[in-house]
Amino acid sequence: MATLAEKFAALGAENAPGQELRQQTDHLAALMRGAPIAGVPVDFSHGDVDAFAPTPGAKAAWDAGFERGGAQAYTEYRGDAMIRASLADRLANFTGAPISPEQELIITPGTQGALFLALGALVDQGTKVAVVDPDYFANRKLVVFFGGEVVPIPLRYTADNPGENGPDLDRLQQAFETGTRVLVFSTPNNPTGHVCSEQVIAQIARLAVRYDVAVVVDQLYSRMLYQGESYSHLRAHPEAPANLVTIMGPSKTESLSGFRLGVAFGSAEIIARMEQLQAIVSLRAAGYNQAALETWFQEPEGWLRQRITQHQAIRDDLLVVFRAAGLPCAAPQAGSYLFPQLPALAVSYAQFVQLLRLQAGVTVTPGAEFGTDCSDSIRLNFSQDHAAAVAAAQRIVEMVERYRA
Amino acid sequence: MATLAEKFAALGAENAPGQELRQQTDHLAALMRGAPIAGVPVDFSHGDVDAFAPTPGAKAAWDAGFERGGAQAYTEYRGDAMIRASLADRLANFTGAPISPEQELIITPGTQGALFLALGALVDQGTKVAVVDPDYFANRKLVVFFGGEVVPIPLRYTADNPGENGPDLDRLQQAFETGTRVLVFSTPNNPTGHVCSEQVIAQIARLAVRYDVAVVVDQLYSRMLYQGESYSHLRAHPEAPANLVTIMGPSKTESLSGFRLGVAFGSAEIIARMEQLQAIVSLRAAGYNQAALETWFQEPEGWLRQRITQHQAIRDDLLVVFRAAGLPCAAPQAGSYLFPQLPALAVSYAQFVQLLRLQAGVTVTPGAEFGTDCSDSIRLNFSQDHAAAVAAAQRIVEMVERYRA
């Protein structure tokens, strides 16, 4: 069993988005090639809520919540009953299957909070958990923190033959056959933007039912679906597993990350455990903030369509920049992450990422955070000012040329 | 080792403040004696932020945070650097010992969040943790959740000879001698309002240093100190232990619970672990909300004094009501909790608490939540409308008479 010191060593957060400022970088001066590259600094480690503002009405909804006073400050741990009721309706409508607001939904402090609570409800010392590789970096860390064992399931996500992309279902079945009790995965995938096809979702459902595996599916980015793509909700599948929790939240597409709001919905037993855990973790998502959920899935006519169109235009321009420079990059089907692959460099990839920030004003997240074979990739959240993002991508390419092995 | 099902059974949150609505109460009709007792409903399970409003300027500070946009939405996991800097100054001033804003302070989602992170950083499978009994109910639950072993330290808190009240230091030394690695306690104590004397704090410091025990001290209510009382900050003691975390927050005295804000400050190593854990728990305290901390310890002249005076007046009136009815009740030295003891009743204490809510419109928290020998007590947070609180206390007394064994 890992000691507490070992557990925390595995939790290293110094490369996590927003934490770069805490790094020691004095040693990099000796490695630097050429002068700084001028340009508007871009922090691709998270979306820019100044470029893409919070959904209209979010602040007014917060104000109204504050005015409601005590009733909004002290909600049930799973969140305000009235907000859950209206939210359950809208989420049922979006995902295509009913949700009991009393028993099957919990409001959490961000989708990070939802992931933490869901895995805390399911993972114990020695629990084997299938984790897609690459996937959101916290998934592996959470499994380790709760004492579980990560069983990696490779994800194919190349730019060629995208129809063949997806998680390795043979490996998944093998994992389920050999004692894996939980599967956690994101679709759209973070960091690649890959969306599981209807066939893959059907297969996951069948395997989970057959082997009685609990599934946590992170659908954070499922609203931002690009032209021509289609999305399958596992929970709406006729053979959806009984122990299933779906996670969403308004932090990304809707730019409400500053409110720290997420929701988890699914199996009443798991949701009940999540609430018990929430009671000792942080009581509830901040009461007044919960009120901002009233704007979610009720945005003005055309708002979502416009936001998708704008992101798709940025995506397409960045793909052109990276592919023209010979950096392989799968086209994200949804969400605002790009995960280009770098060539062999004369510095380590970790050093390159730091140099990129210091020398070119471009912050990205190292691929090594996301999976075992991704250290030569970098993740960009391209929910940024369009022109600044394209210029920053060009600086990345220039930096790659400078540091090419 | 406890199974996950056993762990969650121990986490039962159905009696926790605000969760009463989820209880099944149909079976109580058969037990009911007499008619309902009319009166303004009072929920003593938490403070009433309508009766005692959030500190002046909190909403304006939130608005300013929202206007700052992305920089305030995405702070370091340990919280915005500028807010930490000014906060560290004020907290150092209040507690009487310096705090490094870079290394020794983290902003958390409420003091609950701080307690969770602190114990998560220190408690592992089998870690023995000294927990004062009675104390805040989450302390025991957190130790169990992290796989630790609770070593109870009895607290004396009678109304007679208050000078003799306090935790049993012989038991504490015994615990430390026999392998206890962590001590967690609140002062002022929740639920009794007992404040550890300077001598007790000095003894705790000496014992912790001698046995190299890490200490988490919850000082949530230390600002609301009643006339004639004095307060000792463990962290300012000349022999304060090296592994010490102090927890505070603006949820109670300042009525900012709806913002979910807390802080922990102390040992850089523990704070660093807490941030690593925060990164997978919920990333950060909601970004815009952090801005409300700018009002903390910077309230208008006279504001705190008035708030204390108002609470002291309620405290004194409630003590008169309970003591006149023969319900023993220690006078809280700080904070807004009362913990009166009930006589033998014809129904169980759990049933009485439910009947109190259904029949008399009075919500309290059962004493059993707080310790092993407290099931005959009830906890009241008397941060309420003054007249309504006194009338509700009178209804409690009337209910006690009706159900007396």
The CA-CA-CA angle for residues A305, A309, A315, to 5°, reads 140
Residue A1 has pLDDT above 70, yes or no: no
Cα gap B375→B162, rounded to integer Å = 22
Contact B75 A18 (CB under 8 A): yes
Nearest to A246 by CA among A383, A92, A373: A92
φ and ψ at residue A24, rounded to 5 degrees? -85, 125
Whole-angstrom CA distances from B339 to B17, B157, B332 are: 15, 10, 9
B341 or B30, which is more confident: B341
Provide the token pair at B360. Answer: 């008399």
- Best mutation site among B50, B280, B383 for testing chain A: the one with the most A CBs within 10 Å? B280
Per residue in B6-32, pLDDT tens? Answer: 888 888 767 676 677 667 777 888 899
pLDDT category of residue A7 using cuts at 50, 70 and 90 = confident
In chain A, positions 35-54, which contact chain B (CB-CB < 8 Å)? 46, 48-50
Provide the token pair at B206. Answer: 């000496």
Q: Does B128 touch chain A (CB under 8 A)?
A: no
ipTM of the complex: 0.96
Contacts of A259 in chain B (CB under 8 A): 286, 288
Residue A51 has pLDDT above 80, yes or no: yes
Q: Does B288 touch chain A (CB under 8 A)?
A: yes
Contacts of A72 in chain B (CB under 8 A): 258
Q: For position B244, what pLDDT does the model report?
A: 98
Q: Does B257 touch chain A (CB under 8 A)?
A: yes
Cα gap A232→A185, rounded to integer Å = 14
Mean residue pLDDT across chain A: 96
Per residue in A102-156, pLDDT tens? Answer: 999 999 999 999 999 999 999 999 999 999 999 999 999 999 999 999 999 999 9
Contact B76 A21 (CB under 8 A): yes
φ and ψ at residue A236, rounded to 5 degrees? -95, -5
Mean pLDDT of A235-246: 98
- Best mutation site among B103, B251, B260 for testing chain A: the one with the most A CBs within 10 Å? B260
Contact B284 A73 (CB under 8 A): no
Q: How far apart are the first and last CA of chain A?
A: 41
Cα gap B214→B234, rounded to integer Å = 12
Residue B183 has pLDDT above 80, yes or no: yes
Nearest to B365 by CA among B7, B8, B23, B10: B23
Per residue in B147-162, pLDDT tens? Answer: 999 999 999 999 988 8
Contact B282 A116 (CB under 8 A): yes
Q: For position B18, what pLDDT does the model report?
A: 67
Helices (H) and strands (E) in chain B, counts: 13, 13
Per residue in B360-377, pLDDT tens? Answer: 999 999 999 999 999 999
Q: Does this model's pTM top 0.90?
A: yes
The CA-CA-CA angle for residues A54, A57, A61, to 5°, reads 110
* Number of residues assigned to chain B: 405
Distance from CA of A325 to the nearest CA of B (A): 31
